[in-house]
Chain A
Amino acid sequence: MNSAYLTYAGKRLAQAAIVILLAYVFTFVVVSILPGDPITSVLRNPQNGFSEEEIAQIVAAQGLDRPVLEQLWSSLSGFLTGDLGLSMRSHRPVTTMIAEVLPSTLILATSALFLALVLAVVVAYGTQVLPKRYGQGLLRAFPSLFLSVPNFVIGLVLIHLFGFQLGLFRVINPDSAWATFFAAVTLAIPISAQIAEVLIASLDHEADQDYIAVARGRGLRPFRLFTRHLLKPSSLPVVTVIALTIGELLGGSLITETVFGRTGIGSHVQRSVSTQDLPVLQAVVSLAAVVFVLANLIADLVYPLLDPRVKLLGARTPRSPASKPAGASAP
């Protein structure tokens, strides 16, 4: 931990904060400024049953009658002080609403991430350790097969097999451990496919490198070759992939929670979408952005500590006259 590392960390932290803020503004812009006036149209939808007075009240409370820029400003300053506003549907503070359902989604997402990692590692390492004849081809087909199956289909099939046929959990009030487990599997499969794909490619690439042949020429057994030489360098990219796919856990929870009838952030989004509940949507988007940005920040900060080749990325593309003289002058 020298000062160069701290400078680098500081710079990345500032970048992260900017991205989160911009993501918040972006959602506001998309929902409030794009053509059509979804908010008032929803309020005036007779199905929702708001009276004119109530509408006026909501409009005033949300500041919908003020100019857009002013709305953005007050919304943004609220965000900076941790106030995410009131839900338009339930008039409750969005922070409270999110806090209520966060644990459920968090359990789902973390167990899904864990399952995804285990599955990916088993599959990818299997392609290297198993002999060619036995099952390697099947393991190699795994990622592209599971990337091709819609998330909700996996969920429906699991519910059908284990809920209806085997009766492992009740479909209507699925609060059992089995229900959570299968929901996590549903969420995990596409993500594990992505991790496995990268891991297999990385293993194949590293296994092709000279140093592996040289180590074999040093008489190492295949298993030791795998554990001592192949494992670490080929697993490093997984850090990056996890950071990149972690946001999809939240996106995927939208479908998974709907299919399994769970209450969580995803099902909140699902409901807020149909009622155009902007404050809730904005809160969820910022939460997702925070998770994504933090995960990537951690990955970037950890990477130089794991891989001795990576020098501090003060400048992400190191330039030296020998390697890239063209950069200075080419058009």
Chain B
Amino acid sequence: MTLLSTATAAHLAPTRRRAALPPLPVVLSLVFVALVIAWSLVPGLFTGHDPIAGVPADKLLGPSLAHWFGTDHLGRDLFARVVFGSASSVTSALIAVVIGVLAGGLIGLVAGFLGGWVDTVLARFVDVLLAIPKFLLAVIVVTAIGFDTINAAIATGVSAVAVFARVMRSEVIKTREATFVEASFLSGGSRWHILLRHVLPNASRSVLPLGVLHFGDSILVIASLAFLSYGDPPPASDWGLLISIGKDYPKWPWLVYAPALVTIATVLSVNRISRWLRTTD
């Protein structure tokens, strides 16, 4: 009997969960993400070098103890530029995720819960957003509202709305038809009560790991926009912009590799955390 087998699985579940501390890669990921957040909050604590004013005599030095990531063509310490650039890279990814989760979540919640013509209209709108490639959509939006880092973040958020809307809608529909929702209805629950107390918390459970995953994704999209110079111009030091500048100095490859590795490590850590959140829930 199918019920019996779910019962068995659920019996085993709690014992397994209690034993599960985050595995080592997840702990490392959490530590690294915490480090990056610390960089963006108090960059001055992590480096004594000035990210904007360089020492022309020290230009294009290789990585050393004095300059961990080397120096750029103006003699600026690259590590300092990466650390100071993390603020806008991280903040803008956060803005993008918040826009995506809030706008997409709201659209999905309303469409899934109300159903009917509201659902049809919103579903078409989401279809349109999905039909435009994400990166192209972000580029179009940032074109319309102007080139700077915050606008790039907004554009990235808009391009993620469709995905969140779709996941939220399907979760809401799934939850709405769950037995416990009908049970609440029989217990005298009104539509609002059911929406806010039962449907929203349950549907959000799978949207949270997706939000974390999109945080990593947003870092990539924003870096790409910065790479194409759609973000703040130099001397800003967004990671994508650093890589874009570095590519013009192919003989000094650390100018590309250092900021690229930081970006990759951040996104990788965030993705690992998201995967962990998904499996523990």
Physical contact A–B (CB less than 8 Å): yes
A247 touches B228 (CB 8 A): no
Choose from B128, B194, B247, B275 the contact partner of A331 (Cβ within 8 Å): B194
Q: Quick check: which of A46-54, A68-76, A178-186, A287-295 contacts chain B, the rest being far away?
A: A287-295
* Inter-chain contact B143/A38, CB cutoff 8 Å: yes
Interchain CB contact under 8 A, B143 and A144: no
Q: Once the chains are docked, how many angstroms separate the CA of A152 from the CA of B220?
A: 10
Contact of B144 among A31, A148, A156 (CB under 8 A): A31
- Residues of A with C-beta under 8 A to B133: 247-252, 288, 292
| B60 interfacial contact with A, CB 8 Å | no
CB-contact partner of B191 in A27, A251, A259, A331, under 8 A: A331
CB pair A160–B256 under 8 Å, yes or no, is yes
Given A34-B144, A147-B271, A150-B240, is A19 in contact with B177 using a C-beta cutoff of 8 Å? no
Contact of B81 with A by CB under 8 A? no
A113 contacts the other chain (Cβ, under 8 Å)? no
* Minimum C-beta distance from A21 to chain B (A): 9
Q: Does A276 belong to the interface (CB within 8 Å)?
A: yes
The answer, among B136, B177, B264, for a CB contact under 8 Å with A149, is B264
B127 touches A254 (CB 8 A): no
User: In the assembly, what is the distance between CA of A285 and CA of B137, in Å?
Assistant: 8
Query: Which of A90-98, A302-310, A322-330 is the interface stretch?
Result: A322-330
Task: Please tell me if A107 contacts chain B, counting CB pairs below 8 Å.
Answer: no
User: Are A153 and B135 neighbours in the complex by a CB distance under 8 Å?
Assistant: no
A255 near B224 (CB under 8 angstroms)?
Answer: yes
Q: CB-CB < 8 A to B182: which residues of A?
A: 326, 330
User: Which residues of B from 190 to 247 have beta carbons under 8 Å from A?
Assistant: 191, 194, 216, 220, 223-224, 227-228, 230, 240, 243-244, 247
Q: How many residues in B have their beta carbons less than 8 Å from beta carbons of A?
A: 49
The answer to whether A285 and B136 have CB atoms under 8 Å apart is: yes
Complex: chain B residue closest to A18, CB-CB: B124
- The contact of B140 among A19, A149, A255, A285, by CB within 8 Å, is A285
Residues of A within 8 A of B216 (CB): 148
- Cβ contact within 8 Å between A31 and B140: yes
A254 touches B177 (CB 8 A): no
> Do A273 and B139 have beta carbons less than 8 Å apart?
yes
Contact of B268 among A19, A148, A255 (CB under 8 A): A148
- Minimum C-beta distance from B248 to chain A (A): 11
Say yes or no: A34 contacts B264, CB within 8 Å: no
CA distance A315 to B181 in the complex (A): 24
Residues of B within 8 A of A254 (CB): 135-136, 139, 228
Which residues from chain A contact B247 at a C-beta distance below 8 Å?
A: 156, 259
* CB proximity of B120 to chain A, nearest CB, Å: 11
Majority-rule SS of A interface residues = helix
Taken residue by residue from 255 to 275, chain B's Cβ proximity to chain A (1 for < 8 Å, 0 otherwise) reads as 010001001100110011001
In the bound complex, CA of A34 to CA of B135 (Å): 19
Chain B residues contacting A200 (CB-CB under 8 Å) are: none
CB distance from B17 to the nearest CB of A (A): 19
Whether, in the assembled complex, A189 has its beta carbon less than 8 Å from a beta carbon of chain B, the answer is no
Q: Is B132 an interface residue (CB 8 A)?
A: yes
Min CB–CB distance A10 → chain B (angstroms): 18
A23 contacts which of B128, B176, B264, B275 (Cβ < 8 Å)?
Answer: B128
In whole angstroms, what is the CA distance A163 to B129 when docked?
A: 37
Contacting residue for B181 out of A248, A255, A330, CB 8 A: A330
| A19 near B256: Cβ-Cβ < 8 Å | no
The answer to whether A269 has its CB under 8 Å from any CB of chain B is yes
Query: Which residues from chain B contact A289 at a C-beta distance below 8 Å?
Result: 128, 131-132
| A:228-266 near B, CB below 8 Å | 244, 247-252, 254-255, 258-259
Q: Does B134 make an interface contact (CB < 8 A)? A: yes
Q: How far is the CA of A31 from the CA of B143 in the complex (A)?
A: 8
Q: Which residues of B contact A19 (CB under 8 A)?
A: 124, 127-128, 131
Least Cβ distance of B255 to chain A in Å? Answer: 10
B227 cross-chain contacts in A, Cβ below 8 A: 150, 152, 255
A136 CA / B191 CA spacing, docked (Å): 49
Collect the chain B residues with CB atoms within 8 Å of residue A331's CB. 176, 185, 191, 194
Task: Give CA–CA (A284, B130) in the complex, Å.
Answer: 15
Q: Does chain B have a CB within 8 A of A1?
A: no
6 A/B residue pairs, CB under 8 Å, sorted by A? A150-B263, A153-B264, A156-B260, A251-B135, A281-B143, A289-B132
Known: A259-B247, A285-B132. 4 other contacts (CB 8 A): A148-B268, A156-B243, A156-B260, A247-B132
